[in-house]
């Protein structure tokens, strides 16, 4: 029998999600509880949003303090949390300016608009093409599903926006061939998330950066899922040894509240002028205050270093399971953004884990995706691996 929460949701909310039969009512640290009081170890953390776990004291405290001051005033005026967040982001990155919005899709929309405006001002009307990669994911708006190199997200929404091309991820020669006199930007994830936790070699990134610089093509890194400490560095580009011209952020930035950001070097950022782009709620004082608390915690407690250390520990444990189960094809990832590719039964394993008290998900049909809170310790990793082992044992009977 359905609970009241599930009944209301199924009756009144548009059916755009394939939900698990679970209504969560409380979270603390790495754990969540459903309406029946069952406890779950959360290793998907709101799809990477709850970067410091659920209800982190610093985030909760910042939100409580801010809601008693001012909730919203629009970007017609200045606010302290937004200015403070901008300073932290810029001083700890290679960028000069930031634009605030509400989500990763909005951040990527802003990046697409900025790239085209920059090229329009410098080269005229015809240079507006953007190259992205196959198996990428950049959002659900019309521009960002067009940029996304997966037809399953585009089906039924034609006509898509003109001016986009797709090349194989990590294939520099394919990208070079795709570039034309109309190309203004390359949009790419340092680690593909929805595409299956895919990474590319360092020499690919170095060649890509050099090529874009030589041809005045803006290099845009979509770090919506992989950014902000998850890869073992504050920004994923630091792990690759190159610096993009534009970066997009969201998910982890607000620690649970909706906020996105697009940052750029001054040479590109100056293409935006008053009236070119905007967001009513972008950089909202409450969301910005939460993000300030998140960023300060990342920096003062060396959360990126923790993610690198625990990511190595977790991957080693997963590779131990790989020796036992040949159905595990590959363990890959960076920091605490990890994918386990299985030959079969990915969704069944996710369901088994849920029944045993572990929340994960399956992406690209066969990749078990792990985006745990960055505050996990070895004890939580061990518990997750033990549950996984039981789930593999049930589903991979030899």
233, 251, 317, 345: the active-site residue: 251
Please say if 222 is a catalytic residue.
Answer: yes
What is the per-residue pLDDT for 398? Answer: 59
Give 243-298 pLDDT, tens digit per residue.
999 999 999 999 999 999 999 999 999 999 999 999 999 999 999 999 999 999 99
The ranges assigned to domains in the chain are 4-56+302-395, 70-300
Print burial letters for 34-67: b (CB count within 10 Å at least 16), e (below 16).
beeeeebbbbbbbbbbbbbbbebebbeebbeebe
Query: Taking the mean position of all CA atoms in its chain, how far away is CA 260?
Result: 10
Please say if 251 is a catalytic residue.
Answer: yes
Helix (H) or strand (E) holding 62: helix 57-67
Given this structure, which CATH class describes domain 4-56+302-395? alpha beta
Asked if residue 165 lies in contact with residue 129, where contact means CB atoms within 8 angstroms, the answer is yes
137, 164, 370, 392: the active-site residue: 137
Asked if residue 40 lies in contact with residue 358, where contact means CB atoms within 8 angstroms, the answer is yes
43, 164, 222, 392: the active-site residue: 222
Please say if 233 is a catalytic residue.
Answer: no
Q: Residues of the chain with pLDDT > 70: what percent?
A: 100
Beta strand residue intervals within 60-154, DSSP E = 97-101, 129-133
Identify the CATH number of the domain defined by range 70-300. Answer: 3.40.640.10
Closest C-alpha to 335, from 186, 235, 203, 246: 235
DSSP states of 197-231 as a string?
SB---HHHHHHHHHHHHHTT-EEEEE-TTTTTTTT
pTM greater than 0.85: yes
Name the stretches of the chain with pLDDT < 70: 398
């Amino acid at each position: 029998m359905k609970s009241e929460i599930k009944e209301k949701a199924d009756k009144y909310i548009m059916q755009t999600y394939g939900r698990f039969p679970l209504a969560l009512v409380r979270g603390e640290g790495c754990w969540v509880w459903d309406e029946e009081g069952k406890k779950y170890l959360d290793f998907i953390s709101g799809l990477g949003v709850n970067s410091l776990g659920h209800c982190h004291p610093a985030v909760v405290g910042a939100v409580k303090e801010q809601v008693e001051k001012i909730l919203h005033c629009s970007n017609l005026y200045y606010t302290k949390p937004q200015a403070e967040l901008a300073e932290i982001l810029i001083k700890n990155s290679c960028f000069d300016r930031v634009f605030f919005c509400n989500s990763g899709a909005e951040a990527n929309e802003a990046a697409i608009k900025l790239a085209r405006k920059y090229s329009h001002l410098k080269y005229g009307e015809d240079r507006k093409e953007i190259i992205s990669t196959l198996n990428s994911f950049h959002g659900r708006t019309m521009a960002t599903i067009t940029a996304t190199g997966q037809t399953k997200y585009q089906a039924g929404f034609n006509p898509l926006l003109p001016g986009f091309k797709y090349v194989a991820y990590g294939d520099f020669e394919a990208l070079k061939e795709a570039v034309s006199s109309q190309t203004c930007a390359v949009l790419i994830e340092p680690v593909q998330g929805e595409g299956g936790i895919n990474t590319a070699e360092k020499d690919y990134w170095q060649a890509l950066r050099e090529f874009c610089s030589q041809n005045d093509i803006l290099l845009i890194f979509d770090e919506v899922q992989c950014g902000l400490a998850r890869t073992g560095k504050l920004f994923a580009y630091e792990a690759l040894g190159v610096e993009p011209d534009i970066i997009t952020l969201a998910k982890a930035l607000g620690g649970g509240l909706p906020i996105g950001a697009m940052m750029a070097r001054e040479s590109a950022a100056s293409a935006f002028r008053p009236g070119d782009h905007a967001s009513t709620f972008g950089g909202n004082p409450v969301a910005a205050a939460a993000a300030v608390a998140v960023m300060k915690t990342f920096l003062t407690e060396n959360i990126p270093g923790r993610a690198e250390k625990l990511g190595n520990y977790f991957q080693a444990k997963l590779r131990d399971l790989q020796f036992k189960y040949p159905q595990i094809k590959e363990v890959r990832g960076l920091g605490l953004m990890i994918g386990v590719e299985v030959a079969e039964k990915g969704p069944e394993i996710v369901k088994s884990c849920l029944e045993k008290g572990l929340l994960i998900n399956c992406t690209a049909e066969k990749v078990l995706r792990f985006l745990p809170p960055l505050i996990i310790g070895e004890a939580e990793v061990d518990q997750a691996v033990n549950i996984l082992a039981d789930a593999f044992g049930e589903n991979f009977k030899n």
